[in-house]
Chains A and B, each alone.
Chain A
């Protein structure tokens, strides 16, 4: 079952990017989604070659209108239209996006095509009653190439009612495509906010197993449970029995007592 923790309309905004974002969604989800679309739109537009701007304007207009059709096609085309370079945000842009709820660690690693794709997904999600967003997101993900899938995973926490995407996110954790795994496990607030304990723990152990620094897992400290501590200790024991080294950052888990889930 999806897990929602500490989220309520009274959550004060702006404590940190992550908590602030959850507070915004629970109170005025649509306005905030629109705010994010506008924020990302501004960032992406500035990075377009002149020839791409018309396409971008048209596409956004169509998708924010009544018709979400064409999302998959636009989603795919975005990387060719806007390029794949690092976002390299100005201080003002960075400030604006984090204030709108995007995780700092995530946008610092983001690229122009990823930002454009997140904006497209959010644009579709804004204020359309009866839209089967779950199915639309799933379709874009399943038919996507690796970089499209990564953008979907980066967007999940920003979409309205994000807990409905737990199955998709957990499936991404099972992937052998390491960049895909990292798109959900690293610099992404989604797992800590929405994963049930089992999925969260498996993700963290897989991060250890695949050599991902645990510091990249957002919200880890608050999700350490006695079970995760046991799993990490067992992993260290298995590595030792095999005559292999134990990653030093495992101590982030094993030296914590573990909160009750």
Chain B
């Protein structure tokens, strides 16, 4: 089965992860821009980060047969950082229209401060201006209140709910999100957020419509194979194949397809791998024989 991980921070992962993901059937990922574990102190580091997501990281993914898309934003935590927040907002218009940018995100709340309100709303406005959907993070602390406030802000701004993916849901927030037209993401984590068994229970209760799962794997304790592992858990629990495919393929394709930058036909065609390629003179290889699958060899 083809799988889509709609939230994973690949810049924090290794090529072994890419290989394992490809072997497990993941052929597409969305990498939201987020924070790096500690605050940045210069706007320029965001710009290079955005360029890296659009350049080197896309290329790296392609070397393992994985389509890489990204979402760009000032993340909720760093929205509180007056050194950089407005500067990043000023930078975004230059990058949001690029190929491969399929949403504005992650945006939303962390501490639920006035600054977070301001930049959350400003970035929903940017999403409207660039005709993009929005990927919205919900806070780790005070999550239910944070989700309610997220949905209220989406309504207040007048942003179309069907273009919002509210992420990191739990038992308590999912019904709130499904009561709107927003989509609901679930981050399957080894210890926090959501796990496979709980996810199975949620799918049994609420079905597959507008439900997505992701690994949210990053530099912390996390697992880039959580989407295939959740598929296995759903299968074992007797959830039918069509519902599983809806959750791990059709829903992310449909949601991010609203950007107009994700071509379903291209995604479902074969993924060529040609590790002989270079990006700005660099290769992901370190002396290995390049893998070439499906790609046209020279002279063909």
Contact = CB atoms under 8 A, between A and B. Distances in A.
Interface stretch (B4-12, B48-56, B86-94, B108-116): B108-116
Interface residues of A, number: 22
A209 B110 CA distance: 14
A171 B81 contact: yes
Contacts of A175: 37-39
B171 A242 contact: yes
Contact of B141 (A176, A205, A243): A205
B220 interface: yes
A157 to B, nearest CB: 21
B144 A238 contact: yes
Interface in B196-249: 198, 220
A177 B38 contact: yes
Interface stretch (A47-55, A110-118, A186-194, A229-237): A229-237
A142 interface: yes
B145 A234 contact: yes
B113 A198 contact: yes
A76 interface: no
Given A234-B144, A238-B144, A242-B171, A198 B37 contact: no
A95 interface: no
Interface in A15-61: none
A176 B222 CA distance: 14
B77 interface: yes
B67 to A, nearest CB: 29
A198 B142 contact: no
Contacts of B39: 171, 174-175
Contacts of B111: 174, 198-199, 202
Contacts of B112: 198
A170 B81 CA distance: 10
Interface string A174-185: 111100000000
Contacts of A199: 111
Given A202-B141, A209-B141, A238 B81 contact: no
A241 interface: yes
B149 interface: no
A174 B41 contact: no
Given A171-B81, A202-B111, A209-B140, A241 B38 contact: no
Contacts of B171: 241-242
* Majority DSSP secondary structure for residues of A touching B: helix
Given A174-B110, A198-B111, A198-B113, A238 B143 contact: yes
Interface in B173-187: none
A97 to B, nearest CB: 31
B218 to A, nearest CB: 10
Given A238-B172, A241-B170, A241-B171, A171 B142 contact: no
B123 interface: no
B80 interface: yes
Given A198-B112, A234-B142, A176 B80 contact: no
A13 interface: no
Nearest to B191: A244
Interface string A186-222: 0000000000001100100110010000000000000
24 contacts: A142-B41, A171-B80, A171-B81, A174-B77, A174-B110, A177-B37, A177-B38, A198-B111, A202-B141, A202-B142, A205-B142, A206-B140, A209-B140, A231-B142, A234-B142, A235-B141, A235-B142, A238-B144, A238-B170, A241-B170, A242-B170, A242-B171, A242-B194, A243-B198
Interface of A: 142, 167, 170-171, 174-177, 198-199, 202, 205-206, 209, 231, 234-235, 237-238, 241-243
Given A231-B141, A231-B145, A237-B172, 13 more contacts: A174-B80, A175-B37, A176-B38, A177-B37, A177-B38, A198-B113, A199-B111, A205-B141, A209-B140, A238-B172, A241-B170, A242-B170, A243-B198
